[in-house]
Amino acid sequence: MGKLHLEVVTPEKVMVSQEVDIVVAPGTMGEFGVLEGHVPFLSGIEPGELRFSSGSQTERFLVTTGFSEVSDNKVSVLVDAAEKATEIDAERARKAMERARERLDKARGSEDVDFLRAEGALKRAIVRIRISDKKI
């Protein structure tokens, strides 16, 4: 199997820049996978799990919103935030989920709460918990 060059970039830093065999990402139209020779395309990225493998080693990351580009055996993933699955603090994510749920409950009767922001925080927390529960 041939190689792809994967780059995962956040506003703060380049999280990944390496040759891989396969990339699986959470696109806005559903999860997609990329192998060598994939047709060029663009996709939005939703909060979820980004996986990539090289040989027998698989790495997993939590990614938030952004977009990806596939072209010439290169996968570029530009997201607001990314973190290794092994570094997710599940307890912190559970607390964030509870705070977001409280804000959403409060938002129903108030104009003081930014509903979309609270909803985004809830989605990110749920994804963090789901990914951290898969830790090896």
Please identify, among 48, 69, 85, the residue that sits at the C-terminal boundary of a domain.
Answer: 85
Residues 6+ apart with CB under 8 A from 94: 125, 129
- Whether pTM exceeds 0.85: no
> Is beta strand 74-79 parallel, antiparallel or unpaired with respect to 4-9?
parallel
CB 85 within 8 A of CB 133: no
Q: Structurally, how many domains does the chain consist of?
A: 2
Neighbouring C-beta atoms of residue 97, cutoff 10 Å: 18
Pair 8, 59 in one domain: yes
pLDDT above 90 covers what percent of the chain?
A: 59
Verify that 111 and 50 share a domain, yes or no: no
Residues 6+ apart with CB under 8 A from 3: 19, 20, 21, 36, 54, 73
**pLDDT of 39 above 50:** yes
Residue 105 has pLDDT above 80, yes or no: no
Residue 16 has pLDDT above 70, yes or no: yes
Which of 85, 103, 121 is the C-terminal boundary of a domain?
A: 85
